[in-house]
Amino acid sequence: MGKISVKILDVLGKEIKLFSAEKISQSFQTSISLAQLSKETHYLQIQVANQTRLHKFVKL
């Protein structure tokens, strides 16, 4: 199905954490620990094939 890349970025766009995997079916699920992240705004960037999505989240 294709490679999946998940990045956690800080507010300046600096990569904090990277996770990569191969997608072998239509759905994909995983858990990523956010314990080491500081309590502030971050971005989650998900890339599958040639599509990229960016989601903003705040760790409280």
33's CB contacts (< 8 A; 6+ apart) are none
Pairing type for strands 41-48 and 2-9 reads: antiparallel
Structure token pair of residue 11: 């507010």
Residue 22, classified by CB atoms within 10 Å of its CB into exposed (0-12), middle (13-18) or buried (19+), is exposed
* Model confidence pLDDT, tens digit, residues 18-35: 999 887 777 878 888 889
Tell me the whole-structure pTM to 2 decimals. Answer: 0.83
% the chain with pLDDT above 70 = 98
Structure token pair of residue 52: 């990229």
